[in-house]
Amino acid sequence: MWGIVLIALAVLAVRRVWLGYPATGAEFAVLAPREEAFLQAAAEALFPPHERLPLSGGQADLPGYADRYLAVLPRRQRTLIRALFALFEHATLLWPGKGRGGFKRFSALLPEQRLGVLRDWQSSSLALRRLCLTALKAILILGYVGHSESLAALELAPWKIESPRVEADFLYPPIGGRRDQISRAGKPLGGAPTAPPLMPGLDQEAP
C-alpha cells in the first residue's frame, strides 16, 4: 500500500518538475526548458507593458540574459541561482496563488495569480522570503533595465568612450589569449594624462 503511494507521489513529482514544458526552440548554454518557462513567466509578471519603456519583460529575452549570466558563474553559484528559480516555480505548493489552480507551478498560473504570488513574497513576514525575491528581482531587473532599448528610452545609456591605450595595454593579451595577440596599434598615452571626452551613446556590447 505505502509502496503504491510512494510511487504515485514520485510520478506526480516528476510530472510537476520535469514534464509538460513546451520546447520553444531557443538554444541555451545552461538553461533547461523548465527554467526558461519560469523566467519568461516571471519577466512578464514583473515588467508588464508600460508607456515609459518600449519593451515589456516578455519581449526583453530575459531567459537569454539569465543564460548568459549563468554561463559565466562558477558552478556552485550557478547551482544556487538555478535552485532559486526552482524554488519560485514550485513554492506555490506552500504559498499558492489566489483562486482556482493556485497550486500549479508558477509558470502555469494565470498572469494575475503570478503577480499576486510575487506580491506575497514581497510582503512576507519572513525576511528570507523577501530576500529571495530581492535576489530574483536583481537578476531580472539588471537584464531588463540594462537592455539597450530600455536604457535608450530612459536616456541613461552608457557613455561612448574610446579607451586610450596606456602602457599596460601593450603588456596584457586578451583574457585566455596569447601575448602575440596584443594589438600593437596606437601609441601608449604619454605625458599629461587625458581621458577621452564623454559622448552620449551606447558602444558597449549588447547584453
Partner 1 sequence: MSSEASEDGEVRVFSDYTRDFEEDADVVVVGSGPSGSVVAYELAKAGHKVVLIEEGPPFTPQEFRADGNISMARTMREGGLRSTTGTFMPILQAICLGGGSLINSAMCVRPPAFIFDEWSTRYELDHTTRADLDPHYDAVSEFLGIAPTPEDVQGPRNLLFRQGCDALGIASEPVDRNVRGCRGSGECFSGCRARAKQSMDISYIPEAMKFGARVLTSLQVQGVLGEGRRVGGVEGRVVEPFSGRTSHAFRVRARWVVLAAGCMATPVLLQKSGNLANTSGQVGRNLQFHPGSAVAGVFPESIDPIFGGTQSYQSLAFLEEGFKLETMWSAPAALAVRMPGVGTELVQRFGELPRTAIWDAIASTHRSLGTVKARFRSLNPVIRWTLHPEDIKVMLRSIHVLAQIFFAAGAEKVLPGVGGLADEMHSLEEAEVLRDYAIRSGDLVTASSHVFCTTRMHGDPAQGVVDEEGRCHGYDNLYIADTGIFPRCPSVNPMLTVMALAHRQAQSLVERV
Task: Choose between 37 and 42: whose C-beta lies nearer to partner 1.
Answer: 42
Angle between helices 127-145 and 111-122 (to 10 degrees): 120
Q: How far is CA 175 from the centre of its chain?
A: 24
Tell which residue, 149, 174, 160, 121, has the closest CA to residue 65. 149
Query: What is d(CA 36, CA 165) in angstroms, rounded to the nearest whole number?
Result: 41
Q: Is 161 exposed, middle or buried (0-12, 13-18, 19+ CB in 10 A)?
A: middle
Q: Which is nearer to partner 1, 3 or 176 (CB)?
A: 176
Residue 197 cell numbers, joined: 571626452
Closer of 4 and 195 to partner 1 (Cβ): 195
Q: Which residues bind partner 1 (CB under 8 A)?
A: 45-48, 50, 52-53, 68-69, 72-74, 76-78, 80-81, 115, 118-119, 122, 127-128, 130-131, 134, 137-139, 141-146, 150-151, 154-156, 158-159, 161, 163-169, 171-179, 189, 192-198, 204-205, 207
Quote the least distance from Cβ 81 to partner 1, whole Å. Answer: 8
Nearer to partner 1, 3 or 197 (CB): 197
Write down the least CB distance from residue 139 to partner 1, Å.
6
